[in-house]
């Protein structure tokens, strides 16, 4: 069971990495001055805030990260009990 959790976690990690790249590329197309750190506060940039595509892809990233956190919490709880 532990091995399956590890494989799923690795898969999620790769999906998150790719989605971060995608979100970053979209943001830089909208505003070439945006840095990766700026993506932590996208509401500070009108171009990002108003872009449906950026918000959609950023939402997918948030969902992937939430799934990974839930998986890790589940594994942690199993180890404690």
pLDDT per residue as tens digits for the range 44-61: 999 999 999 999 999 999
Measured from the Cβ of residue 30, the count of other Cβ atoms closer than 10 Å reads 17
pLDDT in tens, 5-40: 899 999 999 999 999 999 999 999 999 999 999 999
Structural domain spans, the chain: 2-80
Let me know if 58 is exposed, middle or buried by CB neighbors in 10 A (0-12, 13-18, 19+): buried
DSSP string, 11-32: HHHHHHHHHHHHHHHHHHHH-T
CA 29 to mean position of chain CA atoms? 19
* CB distance 29 to 51 below 8 Å: no
């Amino acid at each position: 069971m532990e091995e399956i959790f590890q494989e799923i976690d690795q898969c999620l990690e790769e999906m998150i990495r790719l989605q971060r790249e995608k979100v970053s590329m979209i943001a830089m197309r909208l505003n070439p001055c945006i840095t990766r750190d700026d993506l932590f506060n996208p509401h500070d940039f009108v171009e990002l805030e108003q872009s449906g595509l950026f918000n959609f892809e950023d939402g997918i990233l948030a969902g992937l990260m939430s799934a990974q956190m839930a998986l890790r919490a589940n594994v942690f709880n199993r180890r404690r009990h």
